[in-house]
Amino acid sequence: MASIFAPVLYLGVVGGGLVIFSYIYRKRARTIQLEPYFPSHPERDAYVTLLQQTDPPAFEGLLKAALFCRAMTNMKRVLQIREDKVALQNLLQKGSIGDDLWNSLLQAEKELNADNLEVAHEANSFAAGWGTYIFNSALEMVYNQQTKKIFTDIPAAKAKAERLYKSKPKSKPRAIASAPSEPANGKHTESTKKEPSKTQSTLASPSSPSPPSRSTSPSVSNGSLAAPAVSTDGESVASMSDNEQGSASQTPSKKPKGKKGKKRK
């Protein structure tokens, strides 16, 4: 009997504690006010103020402009919620953020949907069917403002980048002689490449003809003309050896023998 009573008592204590804890937690969660995800809505407050103005009543065109500005603000918030919802959901699954921020986003989404329905109803009160395309016009206007802001911020961003990344040279750069411009067809380069080879060839073998070899006048020895000594391959007579010159001078010239008449017997 004692063995059955102990587990039943244990389960009753644990179950009662869980019920009491959940009741207290829910009651405390209802009393906690979540921090608003978006700040105040000045465009909505301006439209409501103009709509409640009776002395004198607000002009209809002014009311339409205020309603259109309210729709534009709602479209900006819709785009922001679409971008933040996916990121916050991933962070919530990883445990990087708490439930308070996620619940604040869900509450802001519900309030925005309700405000969009109110804007559509007010637009239909001004013109029939205007509530169907007022948000499309507001979205196009939002995109136009974003694109215009990008173009207007370009000069400021450029000046900031120049101040941050522009480096001044420490010393004046030296003047560098500009290289001669080469024509597109490449003929000039070929001619310049060929000029050094021509100069080398002219230095190695000059185009001027070699000086003629010195010729000696025929020497007369023993009343006969000796064969003149002609230089071969550009060599002069002085290049001949002394032995050759001495042998040439000692050889006597032979006279042709005349025919002797036969002696008669």
- Encode pLDDT of 222-249 as tens digits: 444 444 444 444 444 344 444 444 444 4
Secondary structure of residue 159 in the 3-state scheme? helix
Mean pLDDT for 185-198 is 46
pLDDT greater than 50 at residue 193? no
Strands 224-225 and 220-221: antiparallel
Mean pLDDT for 11-18 is 90
The four Cα atoms 176, 180, 181, 186 give a dihedral, to 10 degrees, of -140
- Encode pLDDT of 15-73 as tens digits: 999 999 888 888 877 766 667 888 889 999 999 999 998 888 889 999 999 999 999 99
Mean pLDDT for 138-150 is 94
Q: How confident is the model at residue 256 (pLDDT cuts 50, 70, 90)?
A: very low
Residue 236 contacts by C-beta under 8 Å, 6 or more apart in sequence?
Answer: 213, 214
54 DSSP assignment: B
Neighbours of 105 (CB within 10 A): 19
pLDDT greater than 90 at residue 155? yes
pLDDT greater than 50 at residue 219? no
**Cα distance between residue 222 and residue 253, in whole Å:** 7
221 DSSP assignment: E
